[in-house]
């Protein structure tokens, strides 16, 4: 990773810090209510001012090492297609929450799985974290598949703890420990 620019390069994507020039791509991707309904914090409808505020907040938190939010950039087009973050970084207890979203037209192509693997390498390699966890709506089948593919384990289910769009939702808790990450990814790297 390029520490000056916060750039992480994968096979088909690049993770980089957000820029104000990303506003248009962010707004285009977040206009689909079906996509936004599974997120915990993205407002609907999503406006240009929401994107500007979010980018500035992300840049501030990145500068202060409180949160690491990256735009997911498709190498072939250089367009921002989504975002992935390490939030609530707790340096004392060496853990952080992962959160992400991807524009609907990019679903089902493995971009998020690649992004999660890259952010895990950053979390366990560069930040030296002990645990990375994720919280998601129980109905979010695609996100569950991504986390399982990447080696996360289901740790629990909190009943009806989130109210979104007029309905109570159960929240699932997934987690991965450094030892699980090392075992899983060292095993894959061995010929």
pLDDT digits (tens, 9 = 90+) for 47-70: 899 999 999 999 999 999 999 999
Residue 5: band (very low, low, confident or very high) from pLDDT cuts 50, 70, 90 = low
- The mean pLDDT value for 162-179 works out to 92
The answer to whether residue 1 scores a pLDDT higher than 70 is: no
> Is residue 132 in a domain?
yes
Does 31 fall in a domain?
yes
Dihedral angle, C-alpha 17, 18, 22, 23, nearest 10 °: 170
Q: Is residue 92 part of a domain?
A: yes
Q: Is the dihedral of CA 161, 164, 170, 172 positive or negative?
A: negative
Task: Give percent of the chain above pLDDT 90.
Answer: 78
Asked if pLDDT for residue 133 goes beyond 70, the answer is yes
Model confidence at 139: pLDDT above 80:
yes
Sheet holding 68-74, edge to edge: 7-9, 13-17, 68-74, 80-90, 95-102, 131-137, 167-177, 153-164
pTM: 0.91
Does a structural domain hold residue 38? Answer: yes
At 95, is the pLDDT very low, low, confident or very high (cuts 50, 70, 90)?
A: very high
Is residue 174 one of the residues assigned to a domain? yes
Q: Which residues make Cβ contacts (< 8 Å) with residue 157, sequence separation at least 6?
A: 138, 170, 171, 172, 173
Please say if the pLDDT value at position 17 is more than 60.
yes
- Domain total of the chain: 1
Q: Is the pLDDT of residue 3 over 70?
A: no
Please, how many CA atoms are within 13 Å of residue 129, restricted to the half-sphere of its CB?
A: 25
* CATH number reported for the structural domain that contains residue 175 in this entry: 3.40.630.30
| Listed range (37-41, 118-122, 159-163) with the worst mean pLDDT | 37-41
The domain of 123 spans: 7-189
Q: Is the pLDDT of residue 191 over 50?
A: no
* 17: in domain: yes
Res 2: pLDDT: 44
In-domain check, residue 2? no
Supply the DSSP string of the chain, one letter for each residue.
-BTTTTEEE-SSEEEEE--GGGHHHHHHHTT-HHHHTT-SS--SS--HHHHHHHHHHHHHHHHTTS-EEEEEEETTT--EEEEEEEEEEETTTTEEEEEEEE-GGGTTSSHHHHHHHHHHHIIIIIS--SEEEEEEETT-HHHHHHHHHTT-EEEEEEEEEEEETTEEEEEEEEEEEHHHHHHHHHHHH--
Tell the burial category of 185 from Cβ atoms under 10 Å away from its Cβ (0-12, 13-18, 19+): middle
pLDDT confidence tier of residue 77, bands split at 50, 70 and 90: very high
For residue 52, tell me if it sits in a domain.
Answer: yes
pLDDT-wise least confident of 16-25, 43-52, 176-185: 43-52
């Amino acid at each position: 990773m390029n520490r000056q620019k916060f750039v992480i390069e994968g096979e088909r994507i690049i993770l980089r810090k957000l820029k104000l020039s990303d506003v248009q791509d962010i707004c285009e991707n977040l206009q689909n209510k079906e996509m936004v309904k599974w997120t915990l914090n993205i407002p609907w409808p999503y406006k240009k001012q929401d994107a500007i505020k979010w980018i500035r907040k992300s840049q501030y938190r990145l500068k202060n090492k409180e949160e690491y939010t990256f735009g997911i950039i498709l190498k072939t087009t250089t367009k921002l297609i989504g975002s992935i973050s390490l939030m609530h970084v707790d340096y004392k207890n060496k853990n952080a929450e992962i959160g992400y979203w991807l524009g609907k037209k990019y679903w089902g192509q493995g971009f998020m799985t690649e992004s999660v693997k890259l952010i895990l390498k950053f979390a366990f390699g560069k930040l030296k974290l002990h645990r990375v966890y994720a919280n998601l709506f129980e109905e979010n089948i695609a996100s569950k598949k991504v986390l399982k593919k990447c080696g996360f384990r289901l740790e629990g289910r909190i009943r009806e703890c989130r109210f979104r769009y007029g309905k109570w939702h159960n929240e699932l808790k997934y987690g991965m420990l450094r030892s699980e990450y090392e075992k899983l990814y060292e095993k894959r790297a061995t010929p």
